[in-house]
């Protein structure tokens, strides 16, 4: 059986080591499974206390994706079997891993090439050095499967300008490398063809014994590469449409906001696709997106993860999550039967109950 994750210790020229973690599930676009989480978390902890390891590299196999999200098909199967011990463990351990990355003392370089969605964004968002390429495609598309933007998104989407984070959560809009740089969800853009050269060059850097010094060493190295090897990036649709997004989300009530977004009938493909995803998404997810971001506004990151753990555990015990995965990824009929079926039927007490631990 092939290992779901590869771990490699790469020696540097000055006697240290770089710890490389490679997600190895190419057929599923490196979807993050509980098995992978349980391999990565202890290895990060081990390397954190190993004075010989100076830097971590996190990447995925293949040319299509860094990580397309959590392994929601396996979660669907566990929900159908009413194996909530497994689903609870998945979210608890995934969020603990994401939180560890946010607080890791040593530099972590994430090569965010190709598809980076959902759980993949969770792995990338907290890393100290986040690299995107001309082929990066990033999104939090959980509204299409009856979930909501989790993995700390209630915290980092809240920090985007205006109500942009709310718009991205409601529409599941995909954004590119230029967008990621613009909204500070990435730090460097490099050509995908330079991956091996960039990662290989890490061995020759002047690594130090202190983690703070190594953050500087890695940042300087990537900055120099980005200045001399800037990829040709597609324009940023977020930057282009920021004023439109502000107008579409400048409503007091979620019903008005949803109506405004879904009524968009212009020629812009990016805005039309967002309207389409929202119009066919889970009504429960719509209210969860808003409620989670509202409650998280003044929370710390650890409080956000604790809140999201309650919501995600509840989502596994309500019908829409399993139904959304069934319709999109299992039976692929693209006709989810949401329950409740309309936004008007989703009451505030119903949503409030998602924030209470099962």
Q: Which residues are catalytic?
A: 70, 119, 142, 150
- Supply 353's token pair: 């109950």
Residue 56 backbone phi and psi in degrees, to 5 = -115, 135
Check: CB of residue 315 under 8 Å from CB of residue 289: no
- Tell me 116's DSSP state: E
Rounded to whole angstroms, what are the CA distances from 136 to 3, 59, 112, 130, 195? 25, 13, 7, 12, 13
Tell me how crowded residue 224 is: count the other CB atoms within 10 A of its CB.
11
Are residues 302 and 45 in contact, defined by beta-carbon separation less than 8 angstroms?
no
Structure tokens at 60: 């995925």
Q: Is the separation of the CB atoms in 339 and 132 below 8 Å?
A: no
The answer to whether the bond into 110 is cis (omega within 30° of 0) is no
Picking from 130, 139, 137, the residue whose alpha carbon sits closest to that of residue 226 is 130
Task: Tokens for 115, please give them.
Answer: 């598809």
Strands 17-23 and 5-11 turn out to be antiparallel
Give the integer Cα–Cα distance in Å for 156 and 308: 13
Give how far the C-alpha of residue 14 lies from the chain's centroid of Cα atoms, to the nearest Å.
34
Element (H, E) at 112: strand 108-112
How far apart CA 340 and CA 351 sit, in angstroms, is 11
């Amino acid at each position: 059986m092939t290992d779901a994750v590869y771990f490699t210790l790469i020696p540097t020229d000055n006697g240290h080591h770089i710890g490389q973690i490679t997600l190895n599930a190419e057929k599923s676009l490196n979807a993050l499974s509980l098995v992978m989480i349980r391999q990565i978390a202890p290895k990060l902890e081990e390397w954190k206390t190993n004075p010989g390891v100076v830097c971590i590299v996190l990447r995925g196999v293949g040319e299509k994706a860094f990580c397309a999200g959590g392994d929601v098909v396996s979660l669907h199967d566990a929900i159908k079997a009413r194996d909530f011990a497994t689903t609870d463990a998945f979210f608890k351990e995934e969020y603990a891993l994401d939180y560890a990355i946010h607080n890791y003392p040593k530099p972590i370089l994430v090569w965010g090439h190709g598809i980076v969605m959902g759980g993949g964004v969770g792995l990338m968002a907290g890393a100290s050095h986040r690299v995107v390429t001309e082929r990066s495609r990033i999104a939090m598309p959980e509204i299409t499967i009856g979930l909501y933007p989790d993995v700390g998104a209630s915290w980092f989407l809240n920090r985007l300008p205006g109500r942009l984070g709310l718009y991205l959560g409601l529409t599941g809009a995909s954004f590119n490398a230029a967008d990621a740089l613009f909204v500070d969800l990435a730090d460097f853009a490099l050509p995908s063809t330079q991956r091996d050269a960039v990662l290989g060059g890490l061995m020759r850097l002047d690594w130090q014994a202190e983690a703070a010094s190594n953050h500087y060493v890695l940042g300087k190295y990537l900055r120099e590469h980005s200045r001399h090897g800037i990829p040709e990036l597609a324009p940023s649709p977020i930057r282009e449409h920021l004023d439109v997004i502000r107008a579409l989300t400048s409503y007091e009530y979620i019903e008005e906001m949803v109506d405004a977004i879904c009524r968009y009938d212009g020629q812009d493909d990016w805005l039309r696709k967002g309207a389409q995803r929202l119009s066919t998404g889970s009504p429960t997810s719509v209210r969860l997106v808003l409620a989670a971001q509202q409650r998280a506004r003044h929370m710390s990151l650890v409080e956000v993860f604790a809140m999201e753990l309650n919501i995600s555990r509840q989502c596994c015990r309500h019908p829409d999550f399993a139904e959304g995965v069934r319709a999109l990824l299992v039976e692929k009929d693209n006709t989810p039967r949401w329950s409740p079926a309309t936004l008007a039927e989703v009451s505030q007490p119903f949503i409030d109950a998602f924030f209470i631990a099962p």
